[in-house]
């Protein structure tokens, strides 16, 4: 009996180690880096028109907000002048571009994360959940060996094997995968504790908020109780399915495909900032390395 227990414990520990630390090709991580950097670069460019209105002393929030009980750090707290804000902005812009191409990737990822968090904590009142997710993805990318493949760093290191993808521990991508699962389970839990998600009218209300409407939704959708119920409860079902069933290898492609449809629909109808695109980028963490490698090499051959 004791031997059986010890064997099961060793098996469980081995499975745990494989789950977090098994070496895999960095092809998926390369695609993830490029996609995250593209979203962060777009996020950075979107800041430009309102940069000083949102973050300067002469803007809508003259002073650094008072945080109580949270570790909300940011460099802009110590360098609040317009010159410093301009400097941080261009550091973020240049860092995003370097991260996109994989040049000085470790340093670029660190600079991007620090700058994104600094802007976010300087004025949290202009953020939404998409901005928070961008911060999280930047943090995970900072921890990952993101420049090991498909990067300028790789080209400078070894040009002959540029199109190879050296194996590295999978744990940074696992963190992203776990984040996606928690995101959806937490979203469902928050929604079912309200009223409109339980009575089936939440989606109809969301589609009729004029300030957030991106493109018009036909009236027969927003005014129909049956369609509203289907869309509302369908959203809950899809989010719960992604949060749980994404760990099943057979069902994973199908639930993620449902998630892609869901977020493209949201982005069509409602202005939710970068939330949908940040979530879709996080899906890349679930792409098998061999599929990612095949996609990269096929794209190279076509180009």
Q: What's the pLDDT tens digit per position in 14-40?
A: 888 898 999 999 999 999 999 999 999
What sign does the CA torsion over 178, 181, 187, 190 have?
negative
Q: How confident is the model at residue 68 (pLDDT cuts 50, 70, 90)?
A: low
Distance of CA 165 to the CA centre of its chain: 23
Give the distance from CA 230 to its chain's centroid: 27
Contact 126, 55 (CB under 8 A): no
For helices 171-192 and 27-47, angle between their N-to-C axes, nearest 10 degrees = 60
Confidence (pTM): 0.91
Strand partners, 24: 168
Q: How confident is the model at residue 185 (pLDDT cuts 50, 70, 90)?
A: very high
Beta strands in 121-195 (DSSP E): 167-169
- Kindly report the average pLDDT of the chain as a whole number: 89
Largest separation between any pair of C-alpha atoms in the chain: 72
| CA nearest to 76, candidates 114, 39, 133, 112 | 114
Q: Average of pLDDT values for 187-216?
A: 86
Band (pLDDT 50/70/90 cuts) for residue 7 is confident
Model pLDDT, residue 121 = 87
pLDDT of residue 280: 94
Q: Can you tell me whether residue 255 is helix, strand or coil?
A: helix
pLDDT at 69 exceeding the cut of 70: no
Phi-psi region of 104 (alpha: psi -120 to 50; beta: other; left: phi over 0): left
Q: Buried b vs exposed e over 216-232: b needs ≥16 C-beta within 10 Å? A: ebeeeebeeeebbbebb
Reading the block at residue 174, the tokens are: 């696992």
């Amino acid at each position: 009996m004791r031997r059986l227990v010890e064997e099961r414990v060793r098996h469980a520990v081995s499975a745990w180690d494989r789950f977090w630390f098994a070496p895999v090709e960095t092809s998926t991580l390369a695609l993830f880096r490029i996609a995250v950097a593209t979203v962060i670069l777009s996020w950075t460019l979107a800041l430009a028109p309102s940069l000083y209105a949102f973050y300067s002393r002469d803007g809508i929030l003259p002073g650094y907000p008072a945080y109580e009980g949270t570790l909300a750090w940011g460099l802009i707290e110590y360098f609040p002048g317009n010159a410093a804000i301009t400097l941080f902005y261009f550091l973020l812009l240049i860092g995003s571009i370097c991260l996109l191409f994989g040049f000085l990737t470790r340093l670029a990822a660190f600079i991007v994360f620090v700058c994104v968090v600094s802007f976010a904590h300087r004025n949290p009142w202009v953020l939404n959940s998409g901005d928070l997710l961008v911060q999280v993805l930047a943090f995970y990318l900072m921890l990952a060996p993101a420049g090991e493949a498909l990067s300028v760093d790789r080209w400078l290191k070894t040009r002959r094997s540029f199109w190879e993808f050296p194996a590295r521990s999978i744990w940074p991508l696992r963190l992203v995968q776990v984040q996606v699962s928690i995101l959806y389970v937490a979203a469902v839990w928050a929604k079912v504790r309200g009223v409109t998600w339980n009575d089936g009218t939440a989606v109809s209300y969301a589609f009729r908020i004029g300030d957030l409407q991106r493109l018009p939704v036909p009236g027969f959708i927003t005014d129909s109780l049956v369609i509203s119920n289907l869309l509302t409860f369908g959203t809950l079902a899809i989010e719960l399915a992604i949060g749980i069933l994404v760990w099943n290898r057979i069902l994973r492609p199908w639930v993620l495909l449902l998630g892609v449809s869901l977020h493209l629909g949201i982005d069509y109808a409602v202005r939710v900032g970068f939330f949908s695109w940040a979530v879709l980028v996080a899906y890349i963490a679930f792409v098998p390395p061999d599929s990612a490698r095949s996609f990269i090499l096929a794209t190279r051959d076509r180009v």
